Structure 1
Amino acid sequence: MCRFLILLSVATLLVACGPKESDEVSQAATIEPAEKSSPEKTADQWTPDAVKKLERKDGFLTLFVDEKEGQVFAQFPASDDDGVSLRAIYASGLTSGLGSNPVGLDRGLFENGAVIAFRRAGSKLIAEQENWKYRASSENPLERKAVRESFARSFIWAGEVTETGPAGELLVDISSFLTRDGLGVQAALKSHPQGGSFSIAKDRTFPDTKNILAFPDNVEFDSFMTLVSDKPGREVRATAADGRAVTLVVHHSLVRLPDAGYEPREFDPRSGAIDVPHYDFSAPLDEQIIKTYARRYRLEKEDPNAEKSPAKNPIVFYVDSGAPPEIRDALIEGASWWADAFEAAGFEDAFRVEPLPQGAHPRDARYNVISWTHRQTRGWSYGGGIADPRTGEMIKGSVILGSQRVRQDRMIFEGLAGAANSGAGGENDPVNIALKRIRQLSAHEVGHSLGFAHNFAASTNDRASVMDYPAPFVTVDGAGSLDLSNAYDVGIGDWDKAAAKWLYTQFPEGTDQQREVNKIIDETYASGLRFVGDSEGRSVATANPYGSVWDNGGDAVKALRDTMAVRRVALDNFGEGAIKKGRPMAALQAVIVPIYLYHRYQIAAAAKLVGGYDFTYKENGDELNPANPVPDDVQRAALAAIAETVDPAALSLSDETVNLISPSLGGFGSNNITEAFEGNTGPVFDLLAAADSAATLSLAAVLHPDRAARLVDFKSRDQSRLGLLEVLQSLERTIFAEQQSSRNRAIAHRVQTRFVSTLINMSGGNAAVGEAQAAAVGLSSGGGQVATPDVQAIIDLYLKGLRTRISPGLLEGQTTERAHREWLMANIDRHFERPAPARMPVVTSPDTPPGSPIGGGFMETCWHCD
């Protein structure tokens, strides 16, 4: 899916000669019209002597390109009384990326954009990034000035004015503006463990003079940036031609600011919209100082008083011409689903998706573009673009879809349905199913560009939104075969229509808009629809029973058992048919992983019922239900289903299956399998290591420190509730159950070891345990990472009792079982007997929130600060 929380998005940027510095945003938060002429109106009145022989490009700004010297000049308007020549929303990004998903420097990736002002200061032109996070909506210019001067702005570049025109026009060499590391490429590489420390090679960093573009509403620039290092990281070595010299193409955009007339919509956390926050220091004392707008396009009806009306300017997205035909068609079809949502919001013909017209450039600000991007491995896709940070108005939508995702989906479905079905057509054709998934992905990422946030509760509402992360819905039919005919839904969901009504409905003049949007929310939730955002959906530690990623169904317990049934059928059928004829058998190493761990995300969904807390983003006075712990019978049912996932019988594979998975050649080429289970058995598939990985998924989910703390808290409120000790005892009954076969006993030993090790980690207060557990599940940890003292005390009590219960007793002659139990007992003993670290034997207290009006930290009690 996408990382829109970070929202590095494909974009261009918007510029306009703007109002004077004091004219920021009116009390209604609309943008004042420009007070001076646009640059293109004066572009033909003066040709500077210094650039008369250079190639001229007319557009929003007039540009002069010197291919011989590698220089780019721009002609700016005359500065106003405050020295401002041009006000802008600026973004830099990558035309050509690294190709490494973990590092994230991808083709088409851009910043969100910021307002900058090109300001003359003596002989220099300064690019100043304005600080729009803090503002005053008052009409009093001194009040606005006080806020501006209270928070730092940033001068991000300075260049010498080469020549001044008769009307004050400015010719400036902007080459150094285009070759600086404004995107933070060096920092991105350095911050990643497998990136490395790089410096810019100035002799190999210069503007790409053949890719300087001027359009009516924007100008676009590419520059080659070469970064060098003696010790490049693994990700760089894997993707660059020579990891010691990495050349990227960095992009810069300047685009016209929107004109006046846009009406912002105040953000509501219940709405499923994307927020654009700021501080308004003009807010009355009885109102919040933090103001938030919803991000959306300016969409207006031809007849604003009609219940349904055509749109004045429909939103159109264009698909990258570089996408293969079958992919392009799928992207168009999936993204087009949003037309139904705009119909629900009262618009006719308000949204379309088309191929990018021949001759049109994807950097032209007039085009919202869906880009098809290649990386070494599969990874995140992105949906976003450039919005005016002052109002939240969306200007240019940009979507990046990673090409490897569809191939991974195809591989998974070949593992489920058989590679022989690929390309054969029909409901079980892995290629067709993967294309169904890419339609969903296209709709999802375009949804972010349109202003819609993730809704990770949609899967519990019968797939009510494309803004969820959809797991394939696969079932076992009456004959014991897998049915993939309904793997992915088609079309926009009920939540999407409701969210579009809230975000885009245009109300007739004189309407109480706040009342009407609240009415939409009340009707939406009254219908049974739910919304859970990123903060509760992504993390394995969180408590909302409806918020999970890659899960299915409103009943997480039933869904987990159904998923386990699908997994068992797939594993029983797993073999040569999972890959195409002629492929190395070693490829099964990669195919087995998503099949063996097919249940991983459904485990996380079920675990959120244990210690779960049912709540909504309620506002004071609305009709939404108050928060409450999940009923105990539901929690216990979820715990029982999770315990079944660590039963050795569920984790076992047949000898025939294990013997099919041969080792890869490794070392030099394409046969090297990078996504495979780690093992300790050399060329033999290590079933015990795979079982350990699967068991870790279950235990990491249900025994996360945050979840354990909630269980202790709920138990303290009511002793009849499910508590942590009962959870541990329930898991023990399955994990230490007697096994009949030697294979299952070996698997049980590995699961028992993981169980004890997890508890020792939690009891020891290991600060990394929460993150390690979350990483095992493939999710973020969220929340705290260290078990509370209450949790540690219960775990220690439990471990002491467990040591007694697993004592070998009368196991004479059962050498393997005796050895294992004595080893576990010795580990528990070592836990209690190990020397304490050299620190005070005290429990760290949580930080107390600031209480005085002065603020937090040392200022709370500072006696000499007055």
Structure 2
Amino acid sequence: MAVAFAPFYRMKKLYPLLPGLLLLLLLNAHGTAAQTLAEKTKGMQKFAGFFPFYWDEASGRILLEIDKLDQEILYVSSLPQGVGSNDLGLDRGQIGQTRIVKFVRSGPKIMLLQPNYDFRAVSTNADERRSVEQAFARSVVWGFKAEAREGNRVLVDFTPFLLRDSHLIGDKLEDLKQGTYKADESRSAVFLPNTKGFPQNSEFEALITLVGKAKGREISSVTPDANAVTVHMHHSLIQLPDANYQPRAFDPRAGYYANEFMDYATPIDQPIMQRQLVRHRLRKQDPTAAVSEPVQPIIYYLDRGAPEPVRSALLEGAAWWNQAFEAAGYRNAFQVKLLPADADPMDIRYNLIQWVHRSTRGWSYGASISDPRTGEIIKGQVSLGSLRVRQDFLIAEGLLQPYADGQPRNPEMLRMAVARLRQLSAHEVGHTLGLYHNYSASTQERASVMDYPMPRIKTRPDGSIDLSEAYATGIGSWDKRAILYGYQDFGPTADEAAALQAIMTRTLAEGYAFISDADARAPGGAHPAAHLWDEGPNAAAELNRLMDVRRQLLARFSENALAPGQPMALLEEVLVPIYLLQRYQVEAAAKEIGGLYYTYAVKGDGQTITRFVEPAEQWLAFEALLRTISPRELALSEELLAKIPPRPVNYARSRETFPTRTGLTFDPTGAAESAAATTLDFLLNPQRAARLQEYHARHPGQPGLAAVLDKLLARTWGSKPETGYPGELQRLVQTLTLHKLLALAAAPQAPAGVQALAALKVDELKTRLQKEQKSAKDEGRRATALAALRTIGQFEEAPEKFQPAPTLPMPDGAPIGDDGCEGF
């Protein structure tokens, strides 16, 4: 019996110790005794806002109070202070990924969970929604440990989340072969001045130092110590918009970006892929009125760092969009203002136009933060590269030759540069309104600011250059139709689908077309009206006109293009855009050869779906292209060449100058090589060659690849021999033609028939070259023939391995006083 009662006795003795034991177990399980939020944050600076948070000065930590567990919010990361290199693409103000997330709790753990909105069931049936949610993976963005808890309020240390490389700069620098970098916490810290709370968003910023071993030239050129790259990274927690926004159906003809997702609740006879316009919320106060004030205007704010006259130009150009909203029946719906002095550019309340500095000229772009659920734009953000206006000014110097002795500075140069800034501002804001590029607008008398504009260069009767219409003023007529489709308020009782269809029917009836990036950017593009930086309704006619202007400009090109006191070697920088004035129009004209007109037609809309380019039009384009590689057009005058010396000390060659094969001296043959090689690349593009062959087989009246190659060889290798400097350029073009033809014959992406035909033409040329090598009296011609035969021999030995000698590239072009936009 004594033994039986012993445990009970010991329990009685230990009973007073149980509370302490339980406390010890809790400490072991959770790491700390339970504390209230007030106790944990005592002495810290509190920031109110969408998510309250606390600053602990002693430890340099941010403690986030999560009072919205299981509530979806928007999380956006961005780069308020960047790296400063266009090549690296890590610019100030760059917006990162936009995600819908929510904080979820499991015991002491708090996880930032990202649902998968690419796959949904838009249904009132909870089981149907759940089946889709469970079918696709989600992502936990980060995990936290609760520092304190009170009911549904949890306190977490937000600092490690803020001090990471959220913008993945290390990965990007490694991909660009600049080195291997990782965030160094010891050299990173919360940046309190830009860490703020607002009613609809909480903003956090950190100074992040990425440490590594630098390997690339680009990163070394923009950092004091390339082994320690310090930037700022920003984090926004944003309240999602309310449910009063009405998504608008996407139409491929309307010119808008699309918000896309798969909806598994759609009926079987309806498309499962859903597309909505990406656009701002805008409603009329009175939807029944022809003209009405908006319920809430769209307001854009300009970076205060933009100087004059840039500031005024950007404000004016962006404000052009109000013309389009007025045409859609709004009064004062779109406004542009200077950013208030006390405003934070990262505040979600401000649509922003910012003036971005880099070490080299580069792209501008318009981006947006939008709601992934609906496509509603919450914040538009434009980034404009500050150096490109200087490129426009440089082009104007080459066009006007304004620095003759005793002449006052010509104000037309600045007018042209400022005019481009206005158009650029409007263009990039257009992206943040939801609009794609429209590259067919240049063929419709500048119908859209969403095209890439080539300056309109006219000549006066006395031969002088007229730049009075270099860039368009005001919003385009296509842009007004696009805004009407995207932003018209039809009212609650209207049949919106029918109203939108009526707008599109009229747009098409008025002759407008929309052709965008994929159709314009491909080197082997087929659409004769879809180009970047072109001008005029007919590409070939404009190329010939531009070559006439170029010839006049080069004939009088001189030191009058340089401001007094500039080194004469800098004449080359001004020469580059004039010598290559035709570069973009060459690409446009090439698309007429083997070209196909087409539209983004919808069944039943009455548009012409596809149409071959007329043969006569193609041959005119061919002649215009051949003109660009003729010795007469490629040659520079001896008088001009004598005025371009080697570079002086501290004025090294750059990406803005011609590559050279002659060492320190200016290389006019190298300049000709880069220009001619570009023309031949476009003409002998494998995709273009494949279309030529296919279209001719289907319709014998179409120019075939054989006819194009025959004419090309007849006009290069079969042309009358030149002597002297023209002869040297002629032989250069002949060699380039052979190399590009051999590249086509060896191109793995070319159809077998194209490869075979190109090889046949090479074999026919071989016979001619064998005769030339033996009979030509000119030593240069014999040498060129011999070198060509050796190159053909290399091809014949292993066609599948053949690589022609690389040609000198053109100096950097786009953006050359213009913009290459990333868009969304």
Inter-partner Cα distance in structure 1 for 2:466 and 2:776: 49
Between 1:308-317 and 1:673-682, the stretch displaced more is: 673-682
Q: How does 1:257-296 map to 2 (within 5 A)?
A: 257-296=240-279
| SS across alignment from 2:191 | strand
Equivalence for 1:696: 677
Change (3 A) 1:466 1:836: closer
Distance (Å, rounded) in 1 between the aligned partners of 2:800 and 2:677:
27
Partner of 2:359, secondary structure, is coil
Deviation at 1:831, TM superposition (A): 1.5
Question: 1:308-359 CA deviation, whole Å, 9 max, x = no partner?
Answer: 2111111110100011121111100000000010011111110111111232
Classify the secondary structure of the residue corresponding to 2:194: strand
CA-CA distance at 1:66 after TM superposition: 2.0
- The one-letter code sitting in structure 2 at the alignment partner of 1:118 is F
Secondary structure of the residue aligned to 1:48 is: helix
Kindly state the Cα deviation for residue 734 of structure 1 after the two structures are TM-superposed: 2.6
- Mapped contact 1:538–1:549 kept (Cα < 8 A): yes
Q: Is the 8 A contact 2:170 2:180 kept in 1?
A: yes
The worse-fitting range, judged by mean Cα deviation, of 790-799 and 729-738 is: 729-738
Task: Spell out the pairing of 1:413-492 with structure 2 (5 A cutoff).
Answer: 413-420=396-403, 429-492=412-475
The partner residue of 1:754 within 736, 739, 750 is 736
Aligned equivalent of 1:176: 160
Give 1:725 shift: 1.2
Q: Distance in 1 between matches of 2:702 and 2:793?
A: 31
Give the drift of 1:47. Answer: 5.7
Matched-pair contact (CA < 8 Å) for 1:341–1:497: yes
Deviation at 1:224, TM superposition (A): 1.6
How far, CA to CA, are the matches of 2:431 and 2:418 in structure 1?
20
Q: Which string of whole-angstrom CA distances, capped at 9 and with x for unpartnered residues, describes residues 605-659 of structure 1?
A: 1111100011000111111112121111111111111111100100000122122
The residue number in structure 2 matching 1:51 is 41
Q: 1:430 aligns to what SS in structure 2?
A: helix
Residue among 204, 227, 231 paired with 2:210: 227
Any conservation in 1 of the 2:75–2:237 contact (CA below 8 Å)? yes
Report what 1:862 is aligned to: none
**Structure 1 Cα separation of the partners of residues 436 and 323 of structure 2:** 18
Q: Shift of residue 571 of structure 1?
A: 1.6
Say whether 1:726 aligns with 2:707: yes
Correspondence for 1:859: none
Correspondence 1:150 to 2:135: yes
Q: Which residue of 2 aligns with 1:109?
A: 94
Instruction: Check the 8 A contact 1:345/1:504 in 2, yes or no.
Output: yes
- Among 309, 314, 318, the residue aligned to 1:335: 318
Matched residue of 2:165: which SS? coil
Aligned to 2:196: 213
Q: Which amino acid aligns with 1:816?
A: G
**Cα distance in 1 for residues equivalent to 2:53 and 2:116:** 28
User: Which of 794, 802, 819 is matched with 2:783 structurally?
Assistant: 819
What does residue range 710-721 of structure 1 map to in structure 2 within 5 Å? 710-721=691-702
Residue number among 808, 812, 815 corresponding to 2:772 in the alignment = 808
Larger deviation, residues 211-220 vs 333-342: 211-220
Q: Is the 8 A contact 1:220 1:253 kept in 2?
A: yes
Corresponding residue of 1:100: 85
SS at structure 1 position matched to 2:640: helix
1:618 aligns with 2:582: no
1:72 alignment counterpart: 62
Mapped to 2, the partners of 1:246 and 1:232 lie a distance apart of 13
Q: Distance in 2 between matches of 1:148 and 1:751?
A: 61
Structure 2 CA distance for aligned equivalents of residues 595 and 461 of structure 1: 25
The AA in structure 2 aligned to 1:757 is: H
Contact 2:402/2:410, CA 8 A, preserved across alignment: no
What secondary structure sits across from 1:722 in the alignment?
coil
1:501 matched to 2:491? The reply is: no
Decide whether the 8 Å contact of 2:404 with 2:560 is kept in 1.
no
What SS is found at the alignment partner of 1:420?
A: coil
State the Cα deviation string for residues 439-489 of structure 1 (Å, max 9, x = none). 111000000111111000000000000000001010222222221111000
Which residue is 1:679 aligned to?
Answer: 660
> Following TM superposition, by how much is the alpha carbon of 1:692 offset from its aligned partner in structure 2, in angstroms?
0.7
Q: Note the C-alpha offset of 1:810.
A: 7.2
Q: Which residue pairs with 1:121 in the alignment?
A: 106
Q: Which amino acid aligns with 1:824?
A: A
Structure-2 residue corresponding to 1:603:
586
Contact in 1 for aligned 2:72/2:100 (Cα 8 Å): yes
Q: Is the 8 A contact 2:95 2:367 kept in 1?
A: no
Alpha-carbon distance in 2 for matches of 1:419, 1:205: 51
Q: Percent identity over the alignment?
A: 39
Larger Rg: 2
Contact 1:414 1:421 in 2 (8 A): no
Asked if 1:794 is matched to 2:757, the reply is: yes
Structure-2 residue corresponding to 1:829: 793
The alpha-carbon deviation at position 537 of structure 1 amounts to 1.4
Higher share of residues assigned helix: 2
2:170 to 162, 172, 186: 186
1:634 equivalent in alignment to 2:624: no
Alignment RMSD (CA, Å):
1.9
CA shift, 1:583, in A, is: 1.7
Structure 2 CA distance, aligned partners of 1:810 and 1:250?
69
The 8 Å contact of residues 162 and 190 in structure 2, kept in 1 or not, is answered as: yes
Q: State the distance in 2 between where 1:824 and 1:78 align.
A: 74
The Cα offsets for residues 56-94 of structure 1, whole Å up to 9 and x where unpaired, read as 211222121123322111111153xxxx1x421111111
Within-5 A mapping of 1:196-595 = 196-420=179-403, 429-595=412-578
Determine if contact 2:402/2:409 at 8 Å carries over to the other structure: no
1:485 and 1:427 map into 2 onto residues whose CA distance is 13
- Unaligned regions of 5+ residues in structure 1, if any? 1-45, 768-785, 839-866
Question: Aligned partners of 1:277, 1:180: CA distance in 2, in Å?
Answer: 30
Q: 1:553 to 1:835 in 2, by over 3 A?
A: closer
Q: CA deviation at 1:216?
A: 2.1
TM-score for both structures, normalised by structure 1: 0.86
Letter in 2 for 1:163: A
* Partner of residue 808, structure 2: none
Q: Tell me which residue corresponds to 2:818.
A: none
> 1:196–1:229: 8 Å Cα contact kept in structure 2?
yes
Task: Return the letter of the residue paired with 1:164.
Answer: R
**Conserved? CA contact 1:101–1:378, under 8 Å:** yes
Superposition TM-score, scaled by structure 2 size: 0.90
Kept in 2, the 8 Å contact 1:129–1:156? The answer is: yes
> What SS does the corresponding residue of 1:318 show, helix, strand or coil?
strand
Tell whether the 8 Å contact from 1:560 to 1:606 is kept in structure 2 after alignment: yes
Shift of 1:811: 4.0
Cα distance per residue 1:400-430 (max 9 Å; x no partner): 10101111111111111125399x9998622
> Quick one: distance in 1 between partners of 2:91 and 2:768?
54
Contact 1:70 1:209 in 2 (8 A): no
How far, CA to CA, are the matches of 2:411 and 2:675 in structure 1? 27
CA shift in 2, pair 1:240/1:88, >3 Å: same
Name the CA distance, whole Å, in 2 between partners of 1:304 and 1:421: 60
Q: Could you tell me which amino acid in structure 1 is paired with residue 668 of structure 2? A: L
Contact 2:80/2:234 (CA < 8 Å) preserved in 1?
A: yes
Give 1:87's aligned amino acid. E
Secondary structure, aligned partner of 1:463: coil
Alignment-derived partner of residue 20 in structure 2: none
Amino acid at match of 1:76: I
Q: Secondary structure at the match of 2:389?
A: helix
Give the number of aligned pairs: 764
- Structure 2: stretches of 5+ with no match in the other structure: 1-35, 803-824
Task: For residue 276 of structure 1, give the secondary structure of its aligned residue in structure 2.
Answer: strand
Read off the aligned partner of 1:406 and give its amino acid letter. Answer: V
Shift of 1:740: 3.7
What are the superposed Cα offsets for residues 377-405 of structure 1, whole Å, 9 maximum, x if unpaired?
01111112211010001111111101011
Q: Distance in 1 between matches of 2:160 and 2:180?
A: 22
Secondary structure, counterpart of 2:383 in structure 1: strand
